[in-house]
């Protein structure tokens, strides 16, 4: 029961990250205006938005790769989760040092904190699932 839920969540995270990355690459100015709060973080910077768009393509592809290649799932989900977690912590740091008010954490929660938390949970599940695999299979696929 838990496995299909985790796989489905990883597919959804992968697709959403890919879609966001494509949006950032194809139409950075439209992305800048469309995403709540982005315009308050500084002036439009096409190069920077496209750089981050490439990261989101990596994040999405990594989650989807982990779905189709279970033997690489832990690393495929841990790597993008590290970036998502760092990104979320950076948002909290900005509030802690007074760059932004606490209300931005609520506004940003669905797109920043939630993906990091879900990625961490998915990665922990992948580790547990990997460890539950028989020793023979673990040695065969390592």
**Predicted local distance difference test score (pLDDT) of residue 141:** 52
3-state secondary structure 55-107: HHHHHHHHHHHHHHCHHHHHHHHHHHHHHHHHHHHHHHHHHHCCCCCCHHHHH
pLDDT along the chain (142 residues), means of 10: 96 98 98 95 96 98 98 97 98 96 96 98 96 65 52
Structure tokens at 120: 């961490």
* Non-local CB neighbours of 56 within 8 Å, separated by 6+ positions: 17, 18, 20, 21, 24
Angstrom distance (rounded) from CA 69 to CA 6: 14
Termini Cα distance of the chain: 26
pTM, to two decimals: 0.90
- Provide the pLDDT for residue 26: 98
């Amino acid at each position: 029961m838990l496995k299909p839920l985790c796989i489905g969540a990883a597919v959804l995270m992968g697709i959403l990250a890919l879609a966001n990355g494509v949006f950032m690459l194809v139409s950075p100015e439209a992305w800048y205006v469309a995403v709540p709060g982005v315009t308050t973080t500084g002036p439009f910077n096409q190069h920077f938005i496209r750089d981050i768009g490439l990261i989101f393509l990596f994040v999405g592809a990594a989650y989807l790769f982990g779905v189709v290649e279970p033997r690489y799932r832990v690393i495929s989900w841990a790597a993008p989760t590290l970036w998502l977690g760092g990104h979320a912590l950076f948002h909290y740091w900005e509030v802690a040092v007074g760059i932004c008010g606490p209300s931005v954490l609520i506004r940003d929660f669905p797109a920043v904190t939630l993906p990091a938390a879900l990625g961490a949970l998915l990665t922990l599940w992948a580790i547990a699932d990997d460890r539950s695999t028989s020793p023979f299979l673990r040695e065969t696929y390592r």
